[in-house]
Amino acid sequence: MQTKIMDSLFIESYLMMNMEITFAGVRSWLEMSNLPMDDVSLFKALLQPEKMKREHQAEITRLIVYRYEDVFFQVNRTDGVGETDPLRDVNDPIHQLLLRLMNIRSLAGEQNAMIDLGVALMQDKEREIPLYPSLHRFFETA
């Protein structure tokens, strides 16, 4: 049963990130809901919901399932996208990386997504100005 719920949560998260809200918007939404998460924890929770901390599973699942009734979520939706609003910037590098990896996971499996994430983070660490510095410790955390 737990696996089915987590699969459903991944699908819901993927649809949400593709069409409704940005990564920064989700982070802000969770902060307003009194569930703040750093970038690595949030990235991991969205990409691998089955591996998120137990104490976050029920609350994040509830927030995502009931997002249409949630005022906090509505504030950060991407419709009426403003280029100057970082919470609605669909071109944000972390948001785009997460979408790409969620797509890879859904098409080719979690292992391929993790390999692509590892390659992307190694390349990013070598950049003069990294795109994903807040994710560089992704594989260092439990």
Mean pLDDT in consecutive groups of 10 residues from the start of the chain, 142 residues:
72 84 88 89 89 82 82 72 71 94 95 97 97 95 60
pLDDT tens per residue across span 100-112 = 999 999 999 999 9
CA distance linking residue 15 with residue 124, whole number of Å: 26
The pLDDT of residue 6: 75
The pLDDT of residue 82: 55
pLDDT tens per residue across span 111-140 = 999 999 999 999 999 999 999 999 999 998
Residues 6+ apart with CB under 8 A from 2: 50
How many other C-beta atoms lie within 10 A of the C-beta of residue 37? 19
CA distance linking residue 124 with residue 127, whole number of Å: 5
pTM for the predicted model, two decimal places: 0.81
